[in-house]
């Protein structure tokens, strides 16, 4: 049976909580990237910091996925 508004059953609380955390992480990353872009365009920071930011984002996403998997290892 499908979940969601069209399926008749609401999303389980675990999925809502995880989705909320993921969306907050994405929102924070977008805000930081925009600020770094503005600062790089204004020549207030070196462009290399702006250029390396995607690698830091990938690192944060990897840490987040590992943390979620590690914290839920005893639930299943």
Dist CA 59 CA 64 (whole Å): 9
Q: Is residue 3 part of a domain?
A: no
Dist CA 73 CA 24 (whole Å): 23
Helix runs in 1-76, H state only: 13-41, 47-71
Beta bridge partners of 3: 9
Number of domains present in the structure of the chain:
1
Q: Is residue 4 part of a domain?
A: no
Q: Is residue 5 part of a domain?
A: no
| pLDDT at res. 2 | 56
pLDDT in tens, 51-61: 888 888 888 88
- Containing structural domain, residue 28: 13-71
| pLDDT at res. 40 | 84
pLDDT band at 74 (very low <50, low <70, confident <90, very high): confident
pLDDT in tens, 12-55: 667 778 788 888 888 888 888 888 888 888 988 888 887 888 88
Question: Which residue in the block uniquely carries the two structure tokens 């995880």?
Answer: 18
**pTM check: above 0.95:** no
């Amino acid at each position: 049976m499908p979940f969601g508004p069209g399926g008749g059953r609401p999303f389980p609380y675990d999925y809502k909580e995880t989705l909320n955390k993921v969306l907050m992480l994405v929102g924070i990353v977008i805000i930081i990237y925009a600020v770094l872009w503005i600062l790089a365009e204004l020549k207030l920071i070196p462009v290399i910091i702006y250029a390396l930011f995607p690698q830091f984002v990938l690192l944060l996403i990897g840490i987040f996925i590992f943390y979620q998997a590690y914290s839920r290892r005893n639930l299943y």
